[in-house]
């Protein structure tokens, strides 16, 4: 499903000119950009992780202009289902209309700007504002405005009801993942994700079945630190000894995923077993030399994906503030057989592993966040072999901020 209003190519990403200091951040958005032309340059400065102004620039340059993953089709499986969420603090609502089509709108009543939907719910045909009872159809059109023109008068001369419907947001879906583009002018989602789809074209992802059990939490760190941590394996030996025992740091590799996204993988993934039993795997893995391979792709800006022989991970982050992030990990297993009650314990193995691993990661990224407050932090440095994805992600952030108009 696509709500396409404007389809135009995004501006060409080009390297920006170097800036000797980040202290000029208050003079304009362009000064927030640093030069990342090779791994010897420092990374993003501390202000990029602590500044409310920088987060506002990211809202404009990244979370409004790029495709952002905001939820799952599984969150609203039935006609009439409604799912409120937000994009970097900007409230939106996802709806499934009576024909089963997905839509997205800014989650505010057009009358006085009240947050229209507060919790996931199911409705028959309308969304009603609890403040003055303005009512909207699921296509966003305004239906009722009781007493708006005076007692027992729902309108007044000159009031244009057609212009006061909910404000639509361009949205699209890939697999179970729902994306929105607030600006409405990003390239089509299929084009944006084409490098990911090409990389994983040998996998039959139609077999994915959503697991109801998820991992959801908040961490006291900037959203970029969660993405950066996911995108490198350099820390495995020291932070994740349990994970390193089945997916060692030295078995990892980086790979290209187009110009925007970044990827890494493990050559020796081991499926979990209980009493000699294991979960069903994707077909034909041996023919593609993927029987023991797990791969991870960071889809810019906020989605991290992992394909394993026996399960699929979708990990999203959403900034709540410069120093607080909402994380959600959703899991998918291969085929109906994997979803039987008898296999629940096997499905719990990777979920438990990611929960425990993420707890270990959060302890580190919260300390990274604390370090960003030091006046001596200069952006740090990168391993050219083990931190390429982190470098490229930071470069994308810097480039996107640099494209904001002055």
**Residues 97-137: pLDDT tens digits?**
999 999 999 999 999 999 999 999 999 989 999 999 999 99
In a domain, 61, yes or no: no
Mean pLDDT of 360-379: 94
Angstrom distance (rounded) from CA 314 to CA 221 = 20
Does residue 176 have a pLDDT over 80?
Answer: yes
Least confident of 38-52, 73-87, 322-336, 354-368: 38-52
**DSSP single-letter state for residue 62:** I
In a domain, 181, yes or no: no
Pair (84, 212) in one structural domain: no
Angstrom distance (rounded) from CA 73 to CA 179 = 10
pLDDT band, very low/low/confident/very high, at 15 (cuts 50, 70, 90): very low
Domain boundary among 173, 208, 234: 173
Does residue 369 have a pLDDT over 60?
Answer: yes
In Å, what is the CA distance from 312 to each residue of 129, 210, 296, 358, 372? 38, 9, 10, 16, 33
Mean pLDDT of 375-385: 88
Q: Say which residues have a Cβ less than 8 Å from residue 48's Cβ, sequence separation at least 6.
A: 22, 32, 54, 222, 224, 397
In Å, what is the CA distance from 321 to each residue of 67, 87, 206, 220, 301? 20, 11, 36, 9, 16
Angstrom distance (rounded) from CA 226 to CA 366 = 9
Domain boundary among 106, 138, 173: 173
* Cβ neighbour number for residue 313 with a 10 Å cutoff: 20
pLDDT computed for residue 252 by the predictor: 80
Domain boundary among 140, 173, 206: 173
Mean pLDDT of 303-313: 98
At residue 241, φ and ψ (nearest 5 deg) are -60, -35
In Å, what is the CA distance from 356 to each residue of 215, 264, 272, 353? 10, 21, 15, 5
pLDDT computed for residue 387 by the predictor: 82
Average pLDDT over the chain reads: 87
Q: Say which residues have a Cβ less than 8 Å from residue 105's Cβ, sequence separation at least 6.
A: 92, 93, 95, 140, 166, 167, 168, 169
| DSSP bridge pairs for 173 | 178
Pair (161, 271) in one structural domain: no
Pair 290, 202: CB distance under 8 Å: yes
| Tokens found for residue 226 | 């969660």
Angstrom distance (rounded) from CA 230 to CA 317 = 11
pLDDT computed for residue 150 by the predictor: 85
pLDDT band, very low/low/confident/very high, at 241 (cuts 50, 70, 90): confident
| Greatest distance between any 2 Cα atoms in the chain | 75
Pair (88, 205) in one structural domain: no
Pair (208, 156) in one structural domain: no
Pair (115, 221) in one structural domain: no
Pair (238, 377) in one structural domain: yes
Does residue 59 have a pLDDT over 70?
Answer: yes
- Give how far the C-alpha of residue 313 lies from the chain's centroid of Cα atoms, to the nearest Å: 12
In a domain, 15, yes or no: no
Does residue 2 have a pLDDT over 90?
Answer: no
Pair (342, 225) in one structural domain: yes
In a domain, 40, yes or no: no
Least confident of 31-45, 76-90, 315-329, 339-353: 31-45
pTM greater than 0.75 (yes/no)? yes
Pair (165, 307) in one structural domain: no
pLDDT computed for residue 79 by the predictor: 96
Number of domains in the chain: 2
Domain that holds residue 280: 194-401
pLDDT: which is higher, 406 or 169: 169
Pair (277, 342) in one structural domain: yes
């Amino acid at each position: 499903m696509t709500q396409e209003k404007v389809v135009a190519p995004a501006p060409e990403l080009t390297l920006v000119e170097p800036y000797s200091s980040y202290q000029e951040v208050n003079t304009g958005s362009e000064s927030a950009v640093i030069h990342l032309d090779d791994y010897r340059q420092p990374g993003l400065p501390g202000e990029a992780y602590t500044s409310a102004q920088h987060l506002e620039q990211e809202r404009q340059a990244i979370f409004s202009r790029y495709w952002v993953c905001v939820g799952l089709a599984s969150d609203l499986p039935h006609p009439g289902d409604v799912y409120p969420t937000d994009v970097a603090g900007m409230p939106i609502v996802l709806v499934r209309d009576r024909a089963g089509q997905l839509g997205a709108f800014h989650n505010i009543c057009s009358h006085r700007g009240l947050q229209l939907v507060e919790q996931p719910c199911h409705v028959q045909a309308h969304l009603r504002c609890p403040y003055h009872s303005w009512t909207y159809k699921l296509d966003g059109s305004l239906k009722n405005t009781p007493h708006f023109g005076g007692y027992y008068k729902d309108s007044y001369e000159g009031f244009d009801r057609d212009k006061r419907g909910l404000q639509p947001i361009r949205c699209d879906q890939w697999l179970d993942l729902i994306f929105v583009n607030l600006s409405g002018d990003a390239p089509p989602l299929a084009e944006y994700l084409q490098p990911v789809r090409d990389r994983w074209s040998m996998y039959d992802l139609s077999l994915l079945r959503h697991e109801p059990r998820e991992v959801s939490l908040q961490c006291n760190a900037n959203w970029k630190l969660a993405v950066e941590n996911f995108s490198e394996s350099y820390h495995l030996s020291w932070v994740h000894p349990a994970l390193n025992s089945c997916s060692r740091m030295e078995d990892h590799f980086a790979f290209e995923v187009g110009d925007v996204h970044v990827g890494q993988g493990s050559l020796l993934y081991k499926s979990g077993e209980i009493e000699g039993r294991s979960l069903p795997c994707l077909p034909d893995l041996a023919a593609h030399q993927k029987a023991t391979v797990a791969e991870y792709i960071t889809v810019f800006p906020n989605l991290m994906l992992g394909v394993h022989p026996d399960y699929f991970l979708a990990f999203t982050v959403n900034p709540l503030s410069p120093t607080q992030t909402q994380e959600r990990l959703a899991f998918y297993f291969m085929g109906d057989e994997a979803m039987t009650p008898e296999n629940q314990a096997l499905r719990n193995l990777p979920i438990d592993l990611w929960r425990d691993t993420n707890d270990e990661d959060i302890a580190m990224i919260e300390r990274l966040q604390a370090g960003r407050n030091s006046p001596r932090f200069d952006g740090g440095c990168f391993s050219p072999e083990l931190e390429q994805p982190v470098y490229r992600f930071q470069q994308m952030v810097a480039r996107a901020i640099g494209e904001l108009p002055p």
